[in-house]
Amino acid sequence: MKELELKYGCNPNQKPSKIFVNDGRELPITVLNGKPGYINFMDAFNGWQLVKELKEATGLPAATSFKHVSPAGAAVGLPLDDVLAKIYWVDDLGELSPLACAYARARGADRMSSFGDFISLSDICDVSTAKIIKREVSDGVIAPGYEPEALEILKAKKGGNYNVIQIDPDYKPEPIEHKDVFGITFEQGRNEFKINNELLSEIVTKNKELPDLAKIDLIISLITLKYTQSNSVCFAKGGQAIGIGAGQQSRVHCTRLAGSKADNWMLRQCPKVLELQFVDGLGRADRDNAIDNYIGDELDCLAEGNWQKIFKVKPEIFTKEEKRAWLDQMTDVALGSDAFFPFSDNIERAKKSGVKYIAEPGGSVRDDLVIECADKYGMVMCFTKMRLFHH
């Protein structure tokens, strides 16, 4: 198949719409189920590049949860502890495969943003992973292949209309890419830059102790940023992104957004949140909304007439002091930035979310002040000398 006609483009009024390879080659994908749309394919192709690169860099199965051409989460297949399994709503599924762990992490990092996601998997989708996908609200999945039983599980989703795409893992695009904007064609070389441990060799802070696990988290954050709409900042810990700030015009707003998501991820693990007792039959999405409202400043979920619809027992208020005390236990977080930090306010905000390891390009006229601030907190900061803008 050399081209695939789509229902419409970004919006229903944008017709005609199709995908094809400019040089006339066969498309590297097969639609096994459903009818993916323009944005579905944008998410699928960006997400596939991300997980393929994560797998190559770490040797571990990788997954990402995409929404509107930016990842809501990305992770590699490290095992889940009991707390993570509970906050990701997979504690009832028994032992999970490494690929399933990767997707549970990617989906669970920011469950609000992942609602209705498009999934990318680095490896053949197995039954364990398909069972997680089956129970979540999602638009589709792309992977290099599917186990027969896993494919049947996915085909039954959304009344048989779930989008399932298989991609040729050996497909290699042309080195020059094109994009049309306002009837004008832009041309550039593809961003084929490989992100690996060598990128972390220039440590500019006094503290130069960079453990192997921190290197993995920094690599995850940088590869995630490579496929995130800029400006962007990514917090990572334990083999997964825990907060992604995408598409902000100001660097510090990226850091604040990513940091707030990382804080939310940490607060979900607090015993006060884990002990919430939901009424029987309340769906995962409604539980996620209630938890976010409970953690945040919106306490409608505790108002009379509301809490009885959500909780079996009315929870006590989660005070600012309690939240801060719990967040102070978050340590050894890694942070990547797709361009240099122009001011030290980014470091100050990162510190509030437990950041200890930083990778950023460097090159600001205020690099000395940024390094000084990192030194104040004993952080380890690498200058990568490589910008990772993505538009």
How wide is the angle at C-alpha 99 spanned by C-alphas 139 and 237, nearest 5°?
A: 95
Q: Any idea how long the chain is?
A: 391
Q: How far apart are CA 36 and CA 13, in angstroms?
A: 17
Residue 148 token pair: 């027969």
Q: How far is the C-alpha of 315 from the C-alpha of 338, rounded, in Å? A: 40
Beta-strand relationship, 163-167 and 29-33: antiparallel
Segment 86-94 long-range contacts (CB within 8 Å, at least 24 positions apart): 86/274, 87/268, 87/269, 87/273, 87/274, 89/284, 89/287, 90/132, 93/128, 93/131, 93/132
Degrees to nearest 5, angle at CA 161 with 86 and 24? 110
Candidates 141, 137, 102, 151; CA nearest to 118 is: 141
Cβ neighbours of residue 151 closer than 8 Å, sequence gap 6 or more = 32, 33, 125, 130, 164
Active-site residue list = 67-68, 231, 391
Give the Cα-Cα-Cα angle 333, 334, 339 (nearest 5 degrees). 145
